[in-house]
Amino acid sequence: MGSPSAAPWKQLLLNALESNKHSSFFQLATISSNGRPANRTVVFRGFQEGSDKILINTDSRTRKIEDIKHCPFGEICWYFTDSWEQFRINGRIDIIDGLNPDPVKLQQREKAWFASSLKSRLQYFGPGPGLPCVNEEPCKENLLDPYIGPIGAFCVLVLDPEQVDYLNLKSNKRLMFKSKQSGDGEQSWVSEEINP
Amino acid sequence: MGSPSAAPWKQLLLNALESNKHSSFFQLATISSNGRPANRTVVFRGFQEGSDKILINTDSRTRKIEDIKHCPFGEICWYFTDSWEQFRINGRIDIIDGLNPDPVKLQQREKAWFASSLKSRLQYFGPGPGLPCVNEEPCKENLLDPYIGPIGAFCVLVLDPEQVDYLNLKSNKRLMFKSKQSGDGEQSWVSEEINP
- Reply yes or no on whether the pLDDT at A4 is more than 70: no
Q: Which of A25, A39, A136 sits opposite B88 (nearest CB)?
A: A39
What CATH number is attached to the domain comprising A176? 2.30.110.10
Residue B126 CB-half CA count within 13 A? 25
Residue A133 lies in a domain: no
pTM for this model (two decimals): 0.95
- Reply yes or no on whether the pLDDT at A22 is more than 90: no
Residues 43-102 of A with CB under 8 A from B: 71, 73-77, 79, 81, 86, 88, 90
> How many other CB atoms are found less than 10 A from the CB of residue B183?
5
- Whether B22 has its CB under 8 Å from any CB of chain A: the answer is yes
Residue A52 lies in a domain: yes
* Least confident residue range of A97-106, B57-66, B126-135: B126-135
- Reply yes or no on whether the pLDDT at A157 is more than 90: yes
Which DSSP state fits B72?
A: -
Residue B120 lies in a domain: no
Residue A88 lies in a domain: yes
- Reply yes or no on whether the pLDDT at A27 is more than 50: yes
ipTM: 0.95
Q: Reduced to 3 states, what is the DSSP secondary structure of residue A152?
A: coil
The set of long-range contacts for B114-119, using a CB threshold of 8 Å and a minimum separation of 24, is: B114/B149, B115/B45, B116/B45, B116/B57, B118/B144, B118/B146
In DSSP terms, A26 is beta-bridged to A42
> HEC string of B8-65?
HHHHHHHHHHHHCCCCCEEEEEEECCCCCEEEEEEECCCECCCCCCEEEEEECCCHHH
User: Alpha-carbon distance B68 to B32, whole Å?
Assistant: 8
- Reply yes or no on whether the pLDDT at A1 is more than 50: no
- Reply yes or no on whether the pLDDT at B133 is more than 70: yes
> Looking at the 3D structure of chain A, how many domains does it have?
1
Q: A81 and B79 in contact by Cβ < 8 A?
A: no
Which residues constitute the domain of residue B38?
4-97+154-194
Q: B29 and A22 in contact by Cβ < 8 A?
A: no
